Structures are given as C-alpha cells and as structure tokens.
C-alpha cells in the first residue's frame, strides 16, 4: 500500500520533472545570475590586491601616494587575464570617464620594465584623486551602486543615498514613461478589444473566422512589414492625413508618427490580440441564456449588459489587461521606430547597457528594478481586481 503510494508520487514527480527543469534552467537560474550581476562588484578587487592594501589609509582628497602608485603598477604587471582586465577597465570607466584610454596607455607603459615607480609620469591624469576614488569605491565585493543608479540615486561622499544631479540620468523618468505608455496602450486595447471580442463571440461561421484572423494578423506579420505599413498610414503625406485633408476635416496634417500618438497606435495594434483572445474565450463560456434571462426579469439590454455580461467577462478583461500591460512594458523596438525622442522606453536603456557597452551590472540592475516594480503593480492589481475575479468565477 505505502509502496504503491510512493510509486504514484514518484511517477507524478517524474511527470512534472521536465517542467521543473525548464523553469529552473530558463527562469530561476538566469534570474539568480541577474540578481548576482547587479550587486556583485569584484572585477577590480580580484586584480588589485596590493592596491587594495595601499589605498586603505588614503583620505580620498590628497594626491595619490607613491605606495599606491607602486602597488597599482605591481598589480597591473601581475594581471595576465586579458578579459579580466577588460572587465576591470569597463567597471572603472563606468564610474569615471576617461579610464579606457588611461588604462590602455598605462597598461602598455607598465609592460616595459623601466616604467615606475610613479604613474603620474605615465599620464598626468593619475595625479587626480578622481581616478583613485574610482578604484577605492570598487573594492567592496558587493555594491548597491547599480541598483541605486537604476533609479537615479547614488551614494554621496558621506556614504548617504542621494539623488543624482539634474540632467545626469533619466531612468526614473523613463521608468514612469514606460509604465504610463503601457497603461495607455492597455486602456486603448480594452476600449477597442472588448467590443471586438463581443462581436466575434456573437458571430458564427465564416464571419467569426475572418474577425479572428484579422485581429491575429499583426502577430504573424514581421516587424519591418508592420513598421512600413504604419509609416504609409501615419506619415504627414500618409493615407490617414490624406483622407482627413481631402475630407476637409483638418487643414494641416496631424502629427501621427514619431511621437507618442504613433507609439500608442502601433503598440495598440500589435497587442490587441492579447486583449481580444482572453475576453473572447471567456465570453464563449458564458451561457447564452443569461442575457435573455436578465431582460425577461425587467433589465433594459444595456443594464443587462452592465449587470450580467460585463461582470462575468471581467475575468477576460483582467487577464487581457495583464497580458497587454506586461508585454507593453518590455517594448522598445516599436517605440524606437515610430516614436519620437521622448518615447524611449526602459528596455531600450537596458539594451543599450547590454548590447552596446557590455555593462551587464547596470543592465541587470535596471532589469531587476523593472521586475520589482512590475511585481508590485501586479500585486496591487490583483488586490484591486481580486473581488471581481473571484465573483466572475463560474
């Protein structure tokens, strides 16, 4: 009996093993790496053990001591892993611009045995405390600088958390903008998607197939084709402006592309199926006799809709809104192609740090902030919509 039970449990465990492995390898593990990446700060520490000791007593304002300079030369001579050196330079340059060229020059100088003991002879920049502060600040194995920088904060000289100076970074603005654009797109998807889903669910046969295909089409179309289509439609000499002008509805072309309007139109277009399909599938599960029942009980068709069909289909709206919002938050190519200068979303900043500058720590930190805010919004959303969603369960 117990053996059989155990057997069944084992079999059940084996059945979900692929799922568990998949989630572990492709979700939990990368997430762990991302978290580690965003707080780990050992690129400098590993390579500069002597400098770490020499810099310990330094007051961060005086010119660098000879001991510090000699220690750095010794450390750089001992470093033999090119890639590790590259990581260190990248880390230092992101704290202090100019480190790249300084280090290139310094590294080729220390390769010659006659160089030393003073680095200030190699490049006068080594006399500036700023370059040494960059090293001193990079010697803790863990750091919160990336996470702070992701939300436009830093530690000031006293070690307190403070805002970055104006104009230095715009992550906070871009985060807010990202969530705002996602919310606006979600709103328009509901506005257009709900009636569309109603229409589709109420239709039959070929009409239903055509309606479903029409809404799915953008998902099957390549980004380039879609962008070209939007361009043709939305530009100043485009179809929409041409039509409105010829109708006399407007006297000069409306700016529909390379601005927020273009971004919202394009994203609503692409994400509409994610709204329509969940609502549509929920509508299909609602018994067809509820609306007649409501009208027979004295409800005007509009009130019947508000009291019966709408609350019952809200489940679909909720999951559709969630899908659209979450997907929209991650968009960056579409806003880049049809948006204006002020429509950049946070994913493009993350892409900049990962593909352009290989600053994985910064990219990870921004990713984590994005994830955390999204999770918080999700919890709030579930709390707010919880009652409706329970009520809506059939």
Partner 1 sequence: MTTKYALRRLGFVSAAVVAIATTPALARDLTIVGWGGATQDAQREAYFKPFAEKEGTKVLEDSWDGGYGVLQSKVSAGTPNWDLVQVEAEELVLGCADGIYEKLDWEQIGPKEDFLDESVSDCGVGALTSSTGLAYDSEKWPDGPKSWADFWDLKKYPGKRALRKGPKYTIEFALLADGVKREELYEVMSTPEGIDRAFKKLEELGPNLIWWEAGAQPIQLLASGEVAMTASYNGRIANVNKKEGKKFVFVWPGNVTATDSWVILKGSENKAAAMKAIAFMSQPEPEVKMAELITYGLPSKKAAAMVPAEISKDLPTDPKNLAEAVPLNIEFWIDNNESLTKRFNAWLAAR
Partner 2 sequence: MVDYHIRLDGVTKTFGALRVVDNLRLDIVRGEFLSLLGPSGSGKTTILMMLAGFQDATEGTIYVDGHMINDIPSHRRNMGVVFQSYALFPHMTVAQNVAFPLKMRGVGRAEIDARVNRALDMVQLAALSERRPAQLSGGQQQRVALARALVFEPGVVLMDEPLGALDKQLREQMQLDIRELHGRLGLTIVFVTHDQSEALTMSDRIAVFNKGLIEQIDTPRMIYDHPATRFVAEFIGETNLMEGEIAGREGGEALIRLDSGGMLRVRDRAEFDAGRRVLATVRPEKVELSEAPAAINSIPVAVTDSIYQGDHLRVQLQGPGQRLVARRDRRAAEWTPGAKINATFAPEDCWVIVP
Residue closer to partner 2 (CB basis): 119 or 304:
304
Q: Does 7 participate in binding partner 1 (rule CB under 8 A)?
A: no
Nearest distance from residue 34's CB to partner 1, in Å? 14
Dig out the tokens for 304 from the structure: 């019947």
Look at residue 294 and give the partner it binds from partner 1, partner 2, none, a contact being a CB closer than 5 to 8 Å depending on partner kind: partner 2
CB count, 10 Å around CB of 156? 10
293 is a contact residue toward partner 2 (CB under 8 A): yes
At closest approach, how far in Å is the CB of 180 from partner 1?
12
- Helix 239-247 and helix 223-234, axial crossing angle in degrees, nearest 10: 20
Binding residue for partner 1, selected from 89, 263, 324, 370, defined by CB under 8 A:
89
Nearest-angstrom CA–CA distance, 217 and 34: 35
Task: Examine residue 296 and tell whether it contacts partner 2 (CB under 8 A).
Answer: yes
Closest CB to partner 1 among 178 and 313? 178
Interior angle at CA 141, CA 138 and CA 147, nearest 5: 75
What's the N-to-C CA distance of the chain in angstroms? 38
Report how far residue 334's alpha carbon sits from residue 197's, in angstroms, rounded to the nearest whole number.
25
Q: What is the number of other CB atoms lying within 10 angstroms of the CB of residue 232?
A: 12
Minimum CB distance to partner 1 smaller for 295 or for 348: 348
Considering only 116, 320, 335, 392, the residue that binds partner 2 (CB under 8 A) is 392
Tokens of 73: 């030369």
Report residue 338 as tokens: 């049809």
User: Residue from 80, 159, 298, 341 that binds partner 2 (CB under 8 A)?
Assistant: 298
308 contact choice in partner 2, partner 1, none (CB below 5 to 8 Å, kind-dependent): partner 2
Q: Does 131 bind partner 1 (CB under 8 A)?
A: no
Q: Does 30 help bind partner 2 (rule: CB under 8 A)?
A: no
Ordered alpha helix ranges (H), the chain: 2-23, 29-39, 43-47, 49-55, 66-78, 82-95, 99-110, 129-136, 145-150, 171-202, 205-220, 223-234, 239-247, 260-285, 290-296, 301-304, 310-329, 333-338, 346-351, 360-391
Indicate which single residue of 341, 383, 390, 394 sits in contact with partner 1 (rule: CB under 8 A).
341
Write out the two tokens for 239.
Answer: 């179809």
297 touches partner 2 by CB under 8 A: yes
**Residue 289 contacts partner 2 per CB under 8 A:** yes
Question: Site size for partner 1, by CB under 8 A?
Answer: 46
If you write DSSP's letter for every residue of 147-194 in order, what string do you get? HHHHTTEEE-TTS-EEEPPTTS--HHHHHHHHHHHHHHHHHHHHHHHH
Q: CB under 8 Å, gap of 24 or more: what pairs does 246-253 form?
A: none
Nearer to partner 1, 173 or 388 (CB): 173
CB contact at 8 A, 122 and 107: no
Does position 334 interact with partner 1 (CB under 8 A)? The reply is no
| Shortest Cβ 309–partner 2 spacing (Å) | 10
Closest among 337, 203, 209, 371 to 269, alpha carbons compared: 337
Q: Does residue 235 interact with partner 1 by CB under 8 A? A: yes
Q: Does 281 bind partner 2 (CB under 8 A)?
A: no
Tell me which residues in 311-340 interact with partner 2 (CB under 8 A): 311-312
Pairwise CA distance, residues 287 & 279, whole Å:
15
Q: Give the per-residue contact string, 33-52, with partner 1 (x = CB under 8 A; - = no).
A: --------------------
Stretch that binds partner 1, among 40-48, 161-169, 210-218, 323-331 (CB under 8 A): 161-169
Q: Is 10 in the site for partner 1 (CB under 8 A)?
A: no
Report if residue 205 touches partner 2, rule: CB under 8 A. Answer: no
Give the residue carrying structure tokens 């069944």: 8
Which of the choices partner 2, partner 1, none does residue 296 contact, using the CB cut-off of 5 to 8 A by kind? Answer: partner 2
Q: Site residues (CB under 8 A) for partner 2?
A: 287, 289-290, 292-301, 303-304, 307-308, 311-312, 391-394
Q: Site residues (CB under 8 A) for partner 1?
A: 82-83, 85-87, 89-90, 93-94, 97-101, 103-104, 107, 167-170, 173-174, 177, 231, 235-237, 257-258, 336-337, 340-342, 344, 349, 352-360
């Amino acid at each position: 009996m117990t053996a059989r039970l155990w057997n069944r449990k084992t079999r059940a465990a084996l059945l979900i093993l692929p799922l568990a492995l998949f989630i572990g390898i492709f979700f939990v593990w990368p997430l762990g790496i991302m978290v580690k990446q965003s707080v780990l700060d050992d690129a400098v520490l590993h390579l500069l053990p002597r400098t770490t000791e020499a810099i310990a007593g330094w007051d961060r304002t005086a010119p660098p001591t000879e001991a510090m300079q000699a220690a750095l030369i010794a450390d750089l001579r001992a470093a033999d892993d090119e890639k590790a050196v590259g990581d260190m330079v990248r880390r230092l340059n992101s704290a202090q611009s100019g480190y790249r060229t300084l280090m290139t020059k310094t590294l080729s100088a220390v390769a010659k045995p006659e160089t030393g003991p003073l680095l200030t002879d190699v490049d006068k920049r080594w006399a500036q405390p700023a370059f040494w502060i960059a090293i001193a600040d990079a010697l803790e194995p863990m750091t919160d600088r990336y996470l702070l920088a992701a939300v436009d904060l830093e530690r000031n000289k006293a070690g307190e958390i403070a805002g970055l100076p104006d104009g230095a970074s715009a992550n906070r603005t871009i985060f807010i903008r990202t969530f705002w654009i996602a919310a606006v797109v979600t709103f328009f998807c509901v506005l257009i998607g709900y009636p569309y889903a109603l229409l589709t669910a109420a239709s039959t046969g070929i009409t239903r197939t055509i309606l479903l295909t029409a809404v799915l089409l953008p998902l099957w179309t390549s980004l380039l084709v879609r962008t070209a289509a939007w361009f043709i439609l939305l530009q100043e000499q485009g179809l929409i402006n041409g039509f409105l002008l010829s109708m006399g509805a407007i006297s000069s072309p409306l700016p529909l592309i390379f601005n927020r309007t273009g971004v919202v139109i394009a994203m609503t277009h692409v994400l509409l199926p994610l709204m329509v399909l969940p609502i549509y599938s929920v509508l299909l599960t609602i018994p067809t006799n509820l609306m007649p029942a409501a009208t027979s009980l004295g409800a005007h068709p509009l009130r019947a809709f508000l009291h019966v069909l709408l609350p019952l289909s809200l489940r679909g709206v909720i999951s559709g809104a969630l899908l659209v919002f979450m997907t929209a938050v991650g968009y960056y190519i579409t806003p880049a192609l049809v948006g204006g200068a002020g429509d950049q979303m946070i994913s493009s900043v993350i892409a900049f740090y990962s593909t352009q500058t290989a600053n994985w720590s910064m990219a990870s930190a921004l990713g984590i902030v994005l994830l955390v805010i999204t999770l918080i919004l999700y919890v709030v959303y579930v709390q707010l919509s919880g009652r409706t969603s329970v009520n809506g369960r059939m």
